[in-house]
């Protein structure tokens, strides 16, 4: 802590002694603090009220009260909430690190049992909230906090509902897109718990690959990445898709075998993944069903939380993230006709991919070498495959013209510019 005198003595609401800033997220700055009433270390999130300048409305206050009552071993406890100098302060239990730090720490080897344990705790937290009819809507590894005994807890639960969908203009918010379900990307306004299941599946995939699985650079590109991985959905597979507000037709591409994307995963893991990544939210597995999947009872059993690997010191700058991840190439957006605009994943590269992926471990090692990945992981180490290595040449740039581009962007990003109505 560099400027101890300034921050150390700051007392908020006659109870909390604010310490250093831990970071800044979508809704505002988070600081470490001591609760003088209990002696407990806490994290205080100062919510910028922004559009809600007139104050937090009654509904928001009621929702916050509800969040305070959501108590579960896998949910971050909201200890207190109070207004201070025109900002709303939310006081949470303090957590040591988060899942993003675990995934990114290359000194950490994650065994299949560790991955199972992290996923199980994530799903347990979600199951508790879904039972209480609360959705998370912004699941991503940095919202999964990890305590000093290895316990994983979901953070930021319900905030999207209270304060509106996060404003994607914040740099760090681009990551949230990678975890968005296809129905959200197609503009669905009547989504349900399936959005959290999709996001949990992306996190499961990320634990296996040790890199974000579907790194779209725009909402259109995100759908392109999803379709490249699982095949373009046919209407029979997802009948409601064509009626979604922002539906655009994408060129059909077949799905490569799931095994080719996750060579190290067990059959049970792949089966669960495919059920969580089901396109139609109506047939997507629920969190409770996912928890009852045989993946969790077949060996290796989930590692006990206290025995899970944890990074040493945490807390890196939010700004380092973009450059850390190797962004994948975007899909090709074909020119109009407007109504039948099509977006297609990089087809050539992908066919090559499908051909190549009938592979052995030897092939996996080739890919590792091609991507410059470390070879030091042991047998249990998860691996990571970069889609882009399959295509030998970079895809052509999107040919969509700028007027159409801004129209499409407006359409697809609309919900981020307005607080949610629900």
Phi-psi region of 246 (alpha: psi -120 to 50; beta: other; left: phi over 0): alpha
Ligand-binding annotation for 26, yes or no, is yes
**Is position 22 annotated in a ligand binding site?**
yes
User: 3-state secondary structure string, 78-147?
Assistant: EEEEEEECCEEEEEEECCCEEHHHHHHCCCCCCCHHHHHHHHHHHHHHHHHHHHCCCCCCCCCHHHEEEC
Q: Is 23 annotated as a binding residue?
A: yes
Question: Is the alpha carbon torsion for 314, 41, 86, 136 positive or negative?
Answer: positive
Q: Restricting to residues 46-105, which ones interact with ligand ATP according to CB under 6 A?
A: 76, 92, 94-95, 98
**CB nearer ligand ATP, residue 24 or residue 105:** 24
24 is in an annotated binding site: yes
CA distance 315 to 309: 16
Is residue 278 a known part of a binding site? Answer: no
Binding of ligand ATP by 22 (CB under 6 A): yes
The bridge status of strand 28-35 relative to strand 78-84 is unpaired
Can you tell me the distance from the alpha carbon of 43 to that of 89, in angstroms, rounded to the nearest whole number?
Answer: 10
Pair 224, 395: CB distance under 8 Å: no
Structure tokens given for 307: 């025995």
**By CB under 6 A, which span of 58-66, 141-149, 180-188, 207-215 interacts with ligand ATP?**
141-149
Residue 269 binds ligand ATP, judged by CB under 6 A = no
- Return the residues of window 318-347 that contact ligand ATP according to CB under 6 A: 318
The distance of closest approach from Cβ of residue 418 to ligand ATP in the complex, given in angstroms and rounded to an integer, is: 18
CB neighbours (10 Å) of residue 126? 28
Q: Which of residues 148-177 bind ligand ATP (CB under 6 A)?
A: 155-156, 172-173
Using the 8-state DSSP alphabet, how is residue 343 labeled?
E
The yes or no reply on residue 142 touching ligand ATP (CB under 6 A) is yes
Of 155 and 383, which has the nearer Cβ to ligand ATP? 155
Q: Residue 99, annotated ligand binder? A: no
Q: Which of residues 293-322 bind ligand ATP (CB under 6 A)?
A: 318
The only residue of 12, 23, 268, 381 in contact with ligand ATP, by rule CB under 6 A = 23
Minimum CB separation of residue 250 from ligand ATP in Å reads 28
Question: Is there a catalytic annotation at residue 138?
Answer: yes
Chain contacts with ligand ATP (rule: CB under 6 A): 22-26, 30, 43, 45, 76, 92, 94-95, 98, 142-143, 145, 155-156, 172-173, 318
Write out the catalytic residue numbers: 138
């Amino acid at each position: 802590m560099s400027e101890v005198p300034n921050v150390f003595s700051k007392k908020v609401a006659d109870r909390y002694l604010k310490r250093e800033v831990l970071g800044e997220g979508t809704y505002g700055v988070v600081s470490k603090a001591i609760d003088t009433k209990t002696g407990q270390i806490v994290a205080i999130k100062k919510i910028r009220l922004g559009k809600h300048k007139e104050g937090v409305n009654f509904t928001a206050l009621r929702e916050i009260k509800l969040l305070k009552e959501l108590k579960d071993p896998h949910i971050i406890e909201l200890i207190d909430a109070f207004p201070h100098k025109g900002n709303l302060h939310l006081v949470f239990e303090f957590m040591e690190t988060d899942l993003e730090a675990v995934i990114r720490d290359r000194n950490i080897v994650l065994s299949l049992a560790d991955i199972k344990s992290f996923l199980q705790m994530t799903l347990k937290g979600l199951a508790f909230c879904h039972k209480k009819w609360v959705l998370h809507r912004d699941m991503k590894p940095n919202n999964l906090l990890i305590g000093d005994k290895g316990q994983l807890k979901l953070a930021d639960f319900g905030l999207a509902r209270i304060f509106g969908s996060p404003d994607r203009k914040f740099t760090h918010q681009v990551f949230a897109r990678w975890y968005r379900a296809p129905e959200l990307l197609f503009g669905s306004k009547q989504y349900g718990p399936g959005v959290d299941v999709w996001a949990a599946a992306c996190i499961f995939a990320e634990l296996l690959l040790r890199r974000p699985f579907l790194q779209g650079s725009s909402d259109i590109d995100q759908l392109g990445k999803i379709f490249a991985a699982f095949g373009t959905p046919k209407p029979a597979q997802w009948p409601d898709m064509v009626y979604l507000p922002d539906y655009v037709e994408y060129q059909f591409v077949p799905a490569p075998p799931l095994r080719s994307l996750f060579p190290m995963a067990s059959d049970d893991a792949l089966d669960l993944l495919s059920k969580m990544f089901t396109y139609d939210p109506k047939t997507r597995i629920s969190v409770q069903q996912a928890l009852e999947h045989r993946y969790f009872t077949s060996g290796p059993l989930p590692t006990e939380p206290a025995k899970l690997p944890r990074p040493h010191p945490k807390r890196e700058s939010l700004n380092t993230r973009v450059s850390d991840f190797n962004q994948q190439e975007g899909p090709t957006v074909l020119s109009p006709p407007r109504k039948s605009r099509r977006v297609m994943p990089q087809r050539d590269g992908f066919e090559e991919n499908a051909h190549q992926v009938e592979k052995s471990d030897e092939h996996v090692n080739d890919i590792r070498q091609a991507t410059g990945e470390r070879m030091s992981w042991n047998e249990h180490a998860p691996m990571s495959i970069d889609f882009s290595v399959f295509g030998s040449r970079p895809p052509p740039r999107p040919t969509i013209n700028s007027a159409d581009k801004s129209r499409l962007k407006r359409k697809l990003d609309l919900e981020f510019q307005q607080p949610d109505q629900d």
